[in-house]
Structure 1
Amino acid sequence: MRMAPVIVGLGGSTSAVSVTGLALDRCLALAAEGGAEVRAFDGPFLAGLPIFSVDATPSAAAVELAEAVRGADALVVATPGYHGGMSGLVKNALDHLELLRDDRRPYLDGRAVGIVVTSSGWQACGTTLVAARSAVHALRGWPTPLGVMINSAEQYPDASGRFDARAEGALTVMTQQLLDFAGWQAAARAAVS
């Protein structure tokens, strides 16, 4: 029986200095410190996914992503805010979760999903967080009570990848919510077994 929760992170951008990618890495580091097994699907990986098509044979990368999510207890979705919504890169990755449609737990069912949005301005952060939470709901996931918004114009990480106290605190709280939810789900499954 698996003891450590598995948390899959997806997101970032293709930029080598992606604030979104750094935020995703920070969440996964915090989750690992909390005892989770973590796996990241970063911007360069997501950029290699073909544009999702219902009629296309899934690529090896799409199958790899779907298999990881299938085995996950929780997810972190990190996206830059582009024009009031999530990036096409992240949305395309979520679209590939259609491969989980016929699972016993379809899509993101029964999984907590922490959402991190970065943008150079608070308005784009807010609208993107709402859009990302809506997509997670549509995929039957459970967005954490706290979604994290990082204004990259004001909250750029330092050389170690850590953010200012407000952003760091929010990432810590959201990650703990993921760990708590995964623990509660595991306990509930064990109680009915």
Structure 2
Amino acid sequence: MTSEGVSMPDGPLIVGFGGSTGPMSMTSLLLERCLAHAVTRGARTLVLGGDELGTLPIYGADGEPPTPVATALVEAVREADCVVIATPGYHGGMSGLVKNALDHLEGLRDDPRPYLDGRAVGVIVSAAGWQAAGTALVSVRSAIHALRGWPTPFGVTVNSVEQPINDDGSFDQRVDGALEILAGQLVEFAGWRAAARAGVR
């Protein structure tokens, strides 16, 4: 788990998880870049990448004590104001790695804010084709709804065939702009929620 630079100590906490276990995972790089944009807007960020999620046991072993990574994931999302989920598009849906991580959020079931309740959730999908990217985006958003989260209006889909990573590790300008839009929506949502809670008091 890594924490990025912080512009404001009291800024909203945005937790990102996903990616894949590949050494040059495009999805992981997209996630990190989105969170970097969030930092420039004053957010605090925390990342659980593919290598960490790859150590999660398959969810469903009732009665088994949670592993350290499972506990870290649940605790991070519990504290989060917003979440970003990044996944490769596999056969029309999200990766098993990401779906398993979402299943582990069952640990939030009995919280005052259960699951993803009250949190904006951004989605990033990379796939070798637009159809796979689009269907995977829909599948992740459906899971977010089931977990009571608020999918952001804007989702980022990247066609890795037409929009590959540049030799210097940067992204196409349109891709980077899309990630910046997503980061902005997350930070704005967190600000609106904070203002609403302050008004209720």
- Trace 1:51-66 onto structure 2 (pairs within 5 A): 51-53=58-60, 55=62, 56-66=64-74
Between the aligned partners of 1:90 and 1:121, the Cα distance in structure 2 is 19
The aligned counterpart of 1:44 is: 51
Shift of 1:48: 0.7
Shift of 1:160: 4.9
Shift of 1:58: 1.5
Q: What's the TM-score once normalised by structure 2's chain length?
A: 0.92
Shift of 1:67: 0.4
Shift of 1:191: 1.4
1:117 and 1:129 in contact (8 A); partners too: yes
Shift of 1:158: 2.5
The aligned counterpart of 1:170 is: 178
Shift of 1:11: 0.5
DSSP 3-state at the match of 2:89: strand
The correspondence for 1:130, drawn from 114, 138, 156, is 138
The aligned counterpart of 2:105 is: 97
Deviations 1:168-189 (A, max 9, x none): 1111111100000011011111
The aligned counterpart of 1:71 is: 79
1:147 and 1:174 in contact (8 A); partners too: yes
The aligned counterpart of 1:140 is: 148
Unaligned runs of 5+ residues in structure 2 are 1-8
Between the aligned partners of 1:54 and 1:134, the Cα distance in structure 2 is 24
Unaligned runs of 5+ residues in structure 1 are none
Please give the root-mean-square deviation of Cα atoms over the aligned residues, in Å: 1.1
1:26 and 1:162 in contact (8 A); partners too: no
The aligned counterpart of 1:27 is: 34
Shift of 1:54: 5.2
Q: Where does structure 1 differ by over 6 angstroms across 4 or more consecutive aligned residues? A: none
Between the aligned partners of 1:23 and 1:180, the Cα distance in structure 2 is 20
